[in-house]
A and B are shown apart, each in its own frame.
Chain A
Amino acid sequence: MSEVSAVLAPGTGWLLLAIFGLAWIALGVFWGRKAKDFEGFMLAGRNVGLALGAATAMATWVTSNTVMLAPKFALQMGVWGMLAYSTASFGLFLFAPMARRIRRLMPRGFTSGDFIRLRFGRPAWAVFLLISFVYSMAWLVSMGMAGGIVLEALSGIDYRFGMSVILLVCVVYTLFGGLYAVIGTDFIQSLIILAGIVAVGAVVLSRIDLAAIHGNLAAEQPMLLSVLMPVALLSLFNNMFFGFGEVFHNNVWWSRAFAMKEAVAHKAFGLAGLLWFPIPIAAGFIGLCAGPLGINVPDPDMVGPLVAGQVLGGAGAIVMFVVVFCSLASSIDSLLAATADLLTEDVYRKWLAPASDPARLRRVSSWLIVGLGALTWALCMPRLGDLIQVLFLSGPLVASAIWPVVGGLFWRKASGPAALAAMLAGSAAGLTAYFTLGWFTASLISAAVSAAVMALGTVMSKARFDWSALDESAAAGGGSR
């Protein structure tokens, strides 16, 4: 396959990397000074307001995949593909009311793992942690690889160097600043991403003839406009349930729910969903224009940056470079922090060393951030295959966790065995569908099977859960950790 020619000189790429990398590290160190204790480092003092809360949720959800995969979806599956990607925003919308419930039930909660352990017991907790860790690593590695690939394509910077610098920058500022640094940088990154995508979309729109684009698509690629394109129709629900699973189960979102003020958590997630919804549509539209504009696409993952670079020239490539760098940083930092928190709280503190003091927990969390960064780097280095497929392979796993979370939050009769069976049956059915029917059915089937098992198990259950058992601070006499 051919290489996509770099639009920017490597020197320009390195300069941009240096400017933004140093800026994120400096801001991370600056904001990190607020983190006086372990809780501050992990949850930013549980005092995040609406603007920062919405910005961090939105920026975290704009990943390199949004910038690179949404145009690919549109290019391969047409209008439905574009809409299918944007259904991931529904996860934020539906998580909004759940965030309020989470804050009320667990005023001193730390992680999504805490919830599953207290609500469903250790067997379901162990499976949930495994699902979460597999998904988080797949997401981290897919972003690390995407970063290296896109920087190389746009500026000619060697894949290994670009990927390594992005990971290093994110590890360093997350290490110094914890969630304070993550949320602060996310705010600035969200503004840059929004402005960049809107600017590129607007300029592309001003330079094309919409009627001609439609005519060309209708004549040359008619299935991209068909409402009955089979794979695209199924990907609509598949992507939606994948998105629900990602948001509902992952500690990235739970840590934000715990970090936000109780009164703003639901508003922040709703606002983030609204801000995020048009981004894949704008990015997808850019991809849809490739064929009608006569731009050859030798690598579908690169269609967004390719169209922006060719239509807008060097300026467009610089904007895309910065947008992709911000998208990567805003998601990698969040995942590093949230996954390190999950491992520190759920594995180290709750399992290995329950008597640890906050100072020790902070040190463990820091080492875990470094370790996760190093593991991601090692997995990214060989540039193995199509990591997007690995990410989609984790879709049925996370979709199977939707119902244990929803049932656990709202159904008093939901039991541990039902949650465990729902995750196992959903994952097994979804993975089977992935390999027999196709990736575009896996999350859908996993969510449907998981729903049936969870609902049946709950109806048959005689359990009556005491909601106050979720508030560990009450159980410990109201003391904080």
Chain B
Amino acid sequence: MISKFVVALAAWWALAASAAAAPTLPAPRMTTPPAGGVAEAPEGHLLAAWEPVDASTDGAGGPVRYQLEIGRDPGFERARIVVAGADSATLLSGLRGGDTWLRVRALRGGAAGSWSEPGTVRVDYPDLGLVRNLFALGAATGVFLLAAIVVGVRRTAARRESSR
């Protein structure tokens, strides 16, 4: 009985000591998109950015790295992780239409800090009808330009021939 008590006390002590020694990294703060806010990305890409954590507060050394989590839902149940290294920004591109949620946390050694408050990226691509019309306009103008040059070159060549 006494030995069990001693083991339990030792385990509690070890746990408490390790908890006290383990540095707790603060949560970074998202700036783009803003924490709790929305950033529009009509072109499907965004330079996500956050404020670096003040790593001096936990008294531990070593480089701080960041992980960005990209969620398809606000609860981050369908999510993937992007490792940003020591940078405090990362370009996200090829985003699907609709809302995407982002949050970031700091890492040092094996320890991870808390997740930041999430921000939302809203991708609202231009209307496909407008895209189709402008695409057709571009194609028509391009064909007109090509025709103008080809016909122009042929006519001037024919004129030179006839003037010889």
Residues of A within 8 A of B (CB): 1-2, 75-78, 94, 97-98, 101, 217, 220-225, 228-231, 233-234, 236-238, 240-241, 244, 291, 294, 296-300, 303, 402, 406-407, 409-411, 437-438, 440-441, 444-445, 447-448, 451, 455
Contacts and interface: CB of A to CB of B under 8 A. Distances in A.
A368 B20 CA distance: 69
Nearest to A443: B138
Interface of B: 42-45, 47, 49, 80, 82-91, 93-96, 125-126, 128, 130-131, 134-135, 137-142, 144-146, 148-149, 151-153, 155-156
B93 A234 contact: no
A241 B90 contact: no
Contacts of B139: 237
Contact of A223 (B94, B126, B134, B155): B94
Contacts of A438: 42-43, 126
Given A217-B94, A223-B95, A230-B128, A76 B149 contact: no
Given A234-B131, A300-B91, A444 B141 contact: yes
A410 B88 CA distance: 55
B18 to A, nearest CB: 31
Given A101-B156, A217-B94, A298-B91, A233 B43 contact: no
Contacts of A222: 94, 96
Contacts of B142: 237, 240-241
B139 to A, nearest CB: 7
Contacts of B47: 1, 298, 300
A411 B86 CA distance: 60
A221 B43 contact: no
A98 to B, nearest CB: 7
A417 to B, nearest CB: 19
A237 B125 contact: no
B94 A444 contact: no
Nearest to B130: A437
Nearest to A217: B94
A94 B128 contact: no
Contacts of B126: 230-231, 234, 437-438
B13 to A, nearest CB: 41
Contacts of B141: 237, 241, 444, 447-448, 451
Contacts of B128: 228, 230
A437 B133 CA distance: 13
